[in-house]
Chains A and B, each alone.
Chain A
Amino acid sequence: MTLPQVRARDWVAAAKTAQRRHRAEGAAVPPSPKARRQSAALYVHWPYCKKRCSYCNFNKYIPRGVEEAAFRSCLVTEARTLLQLSGVRRIESVFFGGGTPSLASPHTVAAVLEAVAQAAHLPSDAEVTLEANPTSSPGSRLAAFGKAGVNRLSIGLQSLDDTELQLLGRTHSASDALRTLAEARRLFPGRVSVDLMLGLPAQQVGSWLGQLQELLRHCDDHISLYQLTLERGTALFTQVQQGVLPAPDAELSAEMYQKGRAVLRKAGFRQYEVSNFARNGALSTHNWQYWQCGQYLGIGPGAHGRFLPQGARGHCREARIQTLEPDNWMKEVKLCGHGTRKRVPLSELDLLEEVLAMGLRTDVGITHQHWQQFEPQLTLWDVFGTSQEVKILLEQGFLLLDHRGLRCSWEGLAVLDSLLLSLLPQLQEAWQQKPTP
């Protein structure tokens, strides 16, 4: 980390100037296969939190103290190793997620970015997002993260109701959240996202819509609406099981979602994914990669990745998971340069199924060009055009299949999981009948 200091700092400066220009475009012109193989997104997992949130089942730990220098050096090592293993030459975006990555020092963020910039091309306008928790993100810290290379913030605001925030086990209040949001917007104009949850136990449609309206008065160009999923093993799940809290009402949640979508549309937001809304083109390029089934490397404890290892026999993309527990992960990284715990080869069909399931989560759906990148032989028409079941879904207006490609209608997007139960078997069938070359 000694030599490239200057270069890295140059990159930060260049990125700063570029970030205002940059606007992610949903359906960009597809790059060549080789270019695609050599580029990826990078996810960095920071597994530590100050406090456990009642709804969260992510891979996170509440440590007494973090040996940050050691952890940082492991992140750097793993980034280098995976870049080398994957043969990736270009990192399109970086996302620091967690856990609570805003608890990390900006120096750690900088170190990872520097390592990446050394080993691969990190374009000056590459999106670098940090998940930020309102309580751990005073303006000065946010500015420091900006200096380290972060150019986009995702704020875990979750609610603008203090009672709800308490129920969720969050450490911040609604006013903390709004203050953080204002500071973030000042530092990263047009590059701030906020999360708002819906479908909490006992939550009412009217008051939730009130929160959304208030948020619209304060927010930037990106909002994520997440319906609460009760996950086994969380405090909230237990409380609902024991009857201490009422179970979230599916009907009400659906109503909040539908009304929320409509409100955001009216406010000029494009719903570019099931839970994600952006205006002025402020889509998250990083997340877009997931839904477009681009390659991504995952570093840090429990991080997931999907890429084609260099020199792999055949040309099989792998789903990879890093070791979950931070201490073990660190040991492994020190020992072999990476903490990959599990590698699952994805078959061509597996990958196509992901292309289908992920792509349909977006508003553009799966374009013919996009599909062709993954499956040059069978067109979307070949796969879905003749199915009676799909025809019914088209007639009922849940799906559209036209010259642009296959996508969900406004109504269809909300019930995508049901649609996929018809589409996936259809894809499998078409795949089996595909003439072997």
Chain B
Amino acid sequence: MWVLACWGWRRRHALVQWLPLPCRGRTRGAPLEPWALARLYSNADRKEKFDMSRFPVENIRNFSIIAHVDHGKSTLADRLLELTGTIDKTKNNKQVLDKLQVERERGITVKAQTASLFYNCAGKQYLLNLIDTPGHVDFSYEVSRSLSACQGVLLVVDANEGIQAQTVANFFLAFEAQLSVIPVINKIDLKNADPAKVEKQIEKVFDIPSDKCIKISAKLGTNVESVLQAVIERIPPPKVHCKNPLRALVFDSTFDQYRGVIANVALFDGVVSKGDKIVSAHTQKTYDVNEVGVLNPNEQPTHKLYAGQVGYLIAGMKDVKEAQIGDTLYLHKQPVEPLPGFKSAKPMVFAGMYPIDQSEYNNLKSAVEKLTLNDSSVTVYRDSSPALGAGWRLGFLGLLHMEVFNQRLEQEYNASVILTTPTVPYKAILSSGKLIKEYREKEIMIINPAQFPDKSKVTEYLEPVVMGTIITPDEYTGQIMMLCQARRAVQKNMVYIDQNRVMLKYLFPLNEIVVDFYDSLKSLSSGYASFDYEDAGYQTAELVKMDILLNGNIVEELVTVVHKDKAHSVGKIICERLKDSLPRQLFEIAVQAAIGSKVIARETVKAYRKNVLAKCYGGDITRKMKLLKRQAEGKKKLRKIGNIEVPKDAFIKVLKTQSDK
């Protein structure tokens, strides 16, 4: 399969090119990178390496690996790539598909990657497409799109830790997609490994006979070959038709500064080749295909891609939003029924983002733009606050997504930001005819608390809810149930998955888990409980708008939408934080939280009684004048609420994400 002479540059190519965004803040394809030059030279002798017509559909398997964090998904992927000769077998292959610093640090996959493996088995040449998925349920939509390109999954479970919350969530995603599930018990080399116990858990929770489990050590390579065997034997080939017109699913996309959008596609019907005119079912825009190929794991141009195959396609799309995940591509003038399940990325968590210093605004803006080039699921609205200046209101798929985005901004762009406490998108069903006319719909989404319509004008308010799965050793069950209750969660199920591990299902208002729930859960279970959640729609909620007042004047940036039952405790916390961060002034300041005209919490900042320098003679005068002038200069920058001066710091302390327990 390999032209050996090319191996050197290829490997480098593979290592660098896969970085969606190189650390130095350039987008992929930045000039002067050694690999980019190598690619220029190699273009001349870039020959067709693979004749994709050699793989009939029955010799194709499309599969994914799904697992809880740290259960060894990426290590297994490394071994599979080595076994099939896709990458060189060296000690350096660690999480080859996880390229981002944040992915390696957190042991998670943020950006799904794909590799086509060529494997000889019983004299037959197989094409095994490993479609890597993001490992977290924040990205469950992406996961489900990736899975819809597959016919089977490897469900990796740690032989020591057993089934965790994310294992369950992932399993059900695969199960609902009617995929073949091959359980793989990993890390059997560990001292405390108990594969037999994990087999029983799998049987109990997933109803898969224990003899179907493959026990391996991905780290040592033990028994990995039999995983490939199982992929061929237990996963069916895709059900597709080459004769039909092209129908291709976009399941991922990345952005290259020079070539534009590179869409990862799975062909359900037909054939696509360079020069074809294609149409996006979502945007109805037409494009010319410039290049098709397979990922091996680097891009490898081919003449064509056939039904059942998975590869990439470049067609002059300028923006990742033009190649949205879940979209269907078809040939111009040969429209097809789009593949089911497409939806635009739906932000679940919103947060304000501001540069710490306004002079950093433009740098941050360009960093945010570059990051969102590769992540179309982040929604960006410009926003500004009188206190924090110009910034954005960003929508994320979930909390982890938000954290990862922030971490990438810091690590890859060296940008420091103020991230405000996350909020969730509430809804209101309007009853006021006037408002319905204004919004042109009855049901409206409330992202900014300032838009919160008055109770007299709505039939009901709705809040997003999620189905949470918690798996924990049973000694922590009591405390966890109390925690969930305090978060307004409703228990839906509770089962023992083995003698001492319990699986709890709770319906949570999303708002209740966006701040510090995961940390609380981890700390009260000494780190043993795992948590995952999936979108569960909206439920009616008694929401109220809470104002924060300073001597009776509303502080706009602190208006909050809260559940009625939580108003008092949330209001109290905000008032306390404000009290601690507001500098004393010439008069007493009443810090109040109020719902309508009813005050529910109050703190007082006492007035200054003395702040005049005691001694002011000869030498003190110069010093004193300097100090006063500096203070007067700083005072000009303070935000005034009524006649109260509020420093930016005070807002940051109140608005910033922080644990409040």
Q: Which residues of A contact B (CB under 8 A)?
A: 43, 59, 225-229, 250-251, 253-255, 257-258, 274-275, 287, 290-291, 296, 298, 302-306, 319, 321, 344, 350, 353-354, 357-358, 361, 392-393, 396, 398, 413-421, 424-425
Contacts and interface: CB of A to CB of B under 8 A. Distances in A.
B618 interface: yes
B612 A414 contact: yes
Contacts, number: 99
12 contacts: A229-B615, A257-B610, A290-B616, A304-B618, A350-B625, A361-B616, A413-B612, A415-B610, A416-B611, A418-B586, A418-B611, A425-B632
Nearest to B645: A421
Contacts of B629: 353, 424
Contacts of A43: 618
A414 B584 CA distance: 14
Nearest to A424: B632
A416 B624 CA distance: 12
Contacts of B23: none
B612 A421 contact: no
A250 B611 CA distance: 9
Contact of A358 (B614, B615, B621, B636): B621
Contact of B622 (A304, A398, A424): A304
A375 B376 CA distance: 63
Interface string B606-643: 00111111111111011011001101100110000001
A230 B482 CA distance: 49
B614 A274 contact: yes
A331 B310 CA distance: 88
Given A229-B615, A417-B628, A354 B621 contact: yes
Given A319-B622, A421-B635, A425-B636, A415 B628 contact: no
A144 to B, nearest CB: 26
B609 A290 contact: no
Contacts of A225: 614
Given A353-B629, A396-B587, A418 B621 contact: no
A303 B617 CA distance: 11
A303 B618 contact: yes
Contacts of B632: 420-421, 424-425
Given A227-B610, A254-B609, A414-B611, 16 more contacts: A225-B614, A226-B615, A229-B614, A257-B609, A274-B612, A274-B614, A275-B615, A287-B617, A290-B616, A290-B617, A296-B618, A353-B629, A354-B625, A392-B643, A414-B609, A425-B635
B610 A253 contact: yes
B585 interface: yes
B116 to A, nearest CB: 65
B631 to A, nearest CB: 6
A415 B611 contact: yes
A225 B614 CA distance: 8
Interface in B552-605: 585-587
Nearest to B587: A396
Contact of A415 (B609, B614, B615): B609
A203 to B, nearest CB: 14
B195 to A, nearest CB: 56
Contacts of A302: 619
A284 to B, nearest CB: 10
Q: Is the interface of A mostly helix, strand, loop or mixed?
A: helix
Nearest to A423: B632
A417 B613 contact: yes
Given A290-B617, A392-B643, A417 B611 contact: yes
A415 B612 contact: yes
Contacts of A287: 617
A275 B618 contact: no
B612 A417 contact: yes
Nearest to A419: B586
Nearest to A393: B586
A330 to B, nearest CB: 20
Interface residues of B, number: 26
Nearest to B643: A392
Given A413-B612, A415-B609, A396 B624 contact: no
A100 to B, nearest CB: 17
Contacts of B635: 421, 425
Identify the interface centre among B610, B621, B632: most chain A CB within 10 Å of its CB: B610
B625 A229 contact: no
Contacts of B610: 227, 250, 253-254, 257-258, 414-415
A347 B294 CA distance: 74
A250 to B, nearest CB: 8
A287 B621 CA distance: 12
Contacts of B609: 250-251, 254-255, 257-258, 414-415
Nearest to B618: A304
A417 B608 CA distance: 11
A329 B557 CA distance: 57
B628 A418 contact: no
A43 B608 CA distance: 34
A353 B630 CA distance: 13
A255 B622 CA distance: 28
Contacts of A229: 613-615
A103 B625 CA distance: 32
B514 to A, nearest CB: 39
Contacts of B585: 418
B614 to A, nearest CB: 4
A274 B624 CA distance: 14
Nearest to B606: A251
Contacts of A413: 612
A424 B617 contact: no
Contacts of B616: 274, 290-291, 358, 361
Contacts of B624: 357
The 4 closest A-B pairs by CB, nearest first: A254-B609, A304-B618, A254-B610, A416-B612
B608 A418 contact: yes
Contacts of B631: 421
A261 to B, nearest CB: 10
Identify the interface centre among B614, B624, B632: most chain A CB within 10 Å of its CB: B614
B621 A304 contact: yes
A251 B635 CA distance: 23
A412 B635 CA distance: 19
A228 B609 CA distance: 16
Given A354-B625, A417-B628, A227 B618 contact: no
Contacts of A361: 612, 616
Identify the interface centre among A290, A306, A417: most chain B CB within 10 Å of its CB: A417
Given A290-B617, A358-B621, A415 B608 contact: yes
A257 to B, nearest CB: 5
Contacts of A354: 621, 625
A420 B636 CA distance: 13
B550 to A, nearest CB: 15
Contacts of A257: 609-610
Contacts of B617: 287, 290
Nearest to B629: A424
Nearest to B640: A389
Contact of B618 (A251, A254, A298, A417): A298
A290 B619 contact: no
Contacts of A353: 625, 629
Nearest to A389: B643
Contacts of A298: 618
A303 B619 CA distance: 7
A436 B384 CA distance: 39
A418 to B, nearest CB: 5
A227 B614 CA distance: 6
Interface string B56-85: 000000000000000000000000000000
A275 B614 contact: yes
Nearest to B623: A304
A253 B611 CA distance: 10
A130 to B, nearest CB: 15
B644 to A, nearest CB: 12
A251 B618 CA distance: 28
Interface string B130-165: 000000000000000000000000000000000000
